[in-house]
Amino acid sequence: MSTEDRRQMMDGFSDSLYRAEEQRFDDRLQYDMQRMGPLYDASRVTPEMLKLRPLVKAAASEGSRLVRFLDDDARLNPGLRLLSSDALKLNARVQVLAQKIQQVSDQRLVDEDFRALDAGWRELGYKLGRTRDLSRDTLASLSSIEDLAGQIAGILKITPQVDSRQLQQRVTTLAADFRTLYEDIGYEMGRTQNASALLMGVSRVRSSLDRFSDLILRNDLDQQQLAAEYQRFQQQWYPLAQQLQATGNRIFDRSLRRITLTDNEIHSLLLLPPQGDKQQLLYLTGVLRKDIDEFFQRTPLSLLIHLPNSERALATADQFYGVCEHFIDTVSNPVGGQSRDQDLVDAFRYIEEAEQSFSQTFRGVKSTAALAVLQQIEQTIDTLRQVLQIQSHEFDRSQAIELAADVANMTDDLDRVVRRWLQTERPPFASDCLREVENLARGSADLQRKLYSNASIVEISRDSEDLYDNWRTVYNYLVKCTTEDRRELGRISTRLTPALFQLRTMLVQ
């Protein structure tokens, strides 16, 4: 895609995001003004609002600069595409806020918007702060935004915020993984003394996680309080995880890998420093080595000789083993007695490159069991990547599947609300609108099926682009709604637009 085409596409996305955010803001503001009643004096601008206006205007200007710089970086480093998408979504919110607060006299009406924006900028800054190969312009722009965000937070007395909805979702996932682990221990180890000790440990960890989950539901807690409580959970869990790792049980390995991944996501949401846990890295690499061994146990020579590139099989496997051993050595025996981040990243990049050759060579093997282990190898590498907080350069099909599922659910909700609206208002364009909504629902279901069927990225990209264009047509109808359904349509729109945008961003070449 040419630079000009890319700019036009980004402008189109920005416009759609802005319009959806503007509708959400206007609908909520009207409700809040009614709720405040006589407490709101539109003729008197508060001192806090007078201070906020120039700061938010400057943040909007700097936000646009950051989006441009990140987009330039993403062309050289495709792993930055999703972070560029996050920046664009946040920029749409700050652009709307910068415009709307010129019409609002009391900062209390937009306090919720500032808190959500603060949480978003902190999370993006956290991720970008741990991303390598950012340009000097991007880093300078990010620093300027962090300074402005700090001044705004000071005026509004905002303590560091976290996305409580995402946090609760991850904790729910983690709790489910611990329930599975508890059941696996009982089934695999029976009524032994060692099993009883492990089960007691898991029970205590689950209780600690439940306490943390309860705290999230309290809206009066800030990021530092939540982080301190979660670190207490981690201090309980990590020693127990090492005991479970030492059993060498493959069933436990699967649960531990899922827990590690979710724990790392929660760690990032709470803006905690990178873990750099040596034992965790050694464990995951050990799992990777076992995965490779298991692959060859399930792949007899009679199958290997029929591979399209059978002559490369042994050399490819030997190379993969070698880079895994190099990574283990980098973690276990670092130069100068301490592993540097860059050394670990460089060693991991060798694993990524070797895994691509390994996967391409052995993907054609005629064995369902072997292919299942091959997928397991990819999952372990992805877990390592996330623990090291390295952005992937590859298309993340599993993440795209999750996004497509969200889109499919939202289009179902949209279809329900649109039908109710059209039956009430009966506008002249009703049949055209309904047809476009049905096309949107059908297109999202087709895209989801293609992602599961391993269709080509070119085909998925084309369908994703068509789906986004279809949505823009639908949205032009939705803004004409004047019934009580407008509010719910707005809520769906503000979730659907970024999801479709992010899905499309993942596929931009």
Tens of pLDDT, residue by residue over 355-409, are 888 887 877 777 787 788 888 888 888 888 877 777 666 667 777 888 888 899 9
Q: Residue 8 in 3-state DSSP?
A: helix
pLDDT band at 297 (very low <50, low <70, confident <90, very high): confident
Q: Which domain holds residue 297?
A: 275-388
Neighbours of 177 (CB within 10 A): 20
Same domain, 208 and 128: no
Same domain, 286 and 362: yes
Same domain, 114 and 237: no
Number of alpha carbons in the 13 Å side-chain half-sphere of residue 58: 16
Please state the rounded mean pLDDT for residues 169-198. 91
Same domain, 284 and 233: no
| pLDDT of 394 | 64
Scanning 270-312, the segments in alpha helix (DSSP H) are 278-297, 301-304
Identify the domain boundary among 270, 289, 310.
Answer: 270
Contact 167, 216 (CB under 8 A): yes
Which own/partner contact pairs does 195-199 have at CB distance under 8 Å and 24+ positions apart? 198/240, 198/243, 198/244
DSSP-derived secondary structure for 357-412: HHHHHHTT-S-HHHHHHHHHHHHHHHHHHHHTT---SS--HHHHHHHHHHHHHHHH
Same domain, 378 and 322: yes
| pLDDT of 182 | 93
Query: Can you tell me the distance from the alpha carbon of 150 to that of 148, in angstroms, rounded to the nearest whole number?
Result: 5
Nearest alpha-carbon partner for 149 in 120, 129, 127, 107: 120
* Most confident of the ranges 76-80, 272-276, 359-363, 423-427: 423-427
Nearest alpha-carbon partner for 490 in 478, 500, 498, 502: 478
Same domain, 345 and 399: no
| pLDDT of 430 | 92
pLDDT tens readout for residues 147-178:
999 999 999 888 877 778 888 899 999 999 99
Same domain, 400 and 489: yes
Alpha-carbon dihedral sign for residues 365, 369, 374, 378: positive
28 vs 423, higher pLDDT: 423
Identify the domain boundary among 357, 388, 419.
Answer: 388
First and final C-alpha spacing in the chain: 6
Query: Can you tell me the distance from the alpha carbon of 260 to that of 386, in angstroms, rounded to the nearest whole number?
Result: 10
Same domain, 80 and 214: no
Same domain, 138 and 48: yes
236, exposed or middle or buried, with CB in 10 Å at 0-12, 13-18, 19+? middle
Same domain, 499 and 446: yes
455, exposed or middle or buried, with CB in 10 Å at 0-12, 13-18, 19+? middle
pLDDT over 60 (residue 1)? no
pLDDT tens readout for residues 104-163:
888 888 888 888 888 888 888 888 877 777 899 999 999 999 999 999 999 988 887 777
Same domain, 316 and 232: no
Q: Which residues of 307-331 are buried (b: 16+ CB within 10 A; e: fewer)?
A: beeeeebeebbebbeebbebbbebb
| pLDDT of 493 | 85
Tokens of 473: 């047509």
- Give the CA angle between residues 436, 441, 445 to the nearest 5°: 145
| pLDDT of 62 | 94
Find all residues with CB under 8 Å of 44, minimum gap 6, and list them: 105
Fill in the DSSP letter of residue 337: G
| pLDDT of 314 | 78
pLDDT over 60 (residue 296)? yes
pLDDT tens readout for residues 223-245:
788 888 898 998 899 889 888 88
Tokens of 277: 């846990």
Find all residues with CB under 8 Å of 348, minimum gap 6, and list them: 327, 384, 385, 388, 390
CATH of the domain at 407: 1.20.120.230
pLDDT band at 416 (very low <50, low <70, confident <90, very high): very high
| pLDDT of 223 | 77
CATH of the domain at 369: 1.20.120
Same domain, 182 and 301: no
| pLDDT of 274 | 65
Tell me what the pLDDT averaged over the chain comes to.
83
DSSP-derived secondary structure for 46-67: -HHHHHHHHHHHHHHHHHHHHH
Domains identified in the chain, total number: 4
pLDDT over 90 (residue 57)? yes
Identify the domain boundary among 162, 189, 207.
Answer: 162
Residue type, 442: R
Query: Can you tell me the distance from the alpha carbon of 205 to that of 208, in angstroms, rounded to the nearest whole number?
Result: 5
Model pTM greater than 0.85?
no
Query: Can you tell me the distance from the alpha carbon of 117 to that of 115, in angstroms, rounded to the nearest whole number?
Result: 5
Residue type, 509: Q
Q: Which residues of 21-44 are buried (b: 16+ CB within 10 A; e: fewer)?
A: bbbbbebbbeebeeeeeeebeeee
| pLDDT of 368 | 81
Find all residues with CB under 8 Å of 361, minimum gap 6, and list them: 307, 309, 312, 313, 316
Find all residues with CB under 8 Å of 234, minimum gap 6, and list them: 263, 267
| pLDDT of 85 | 80
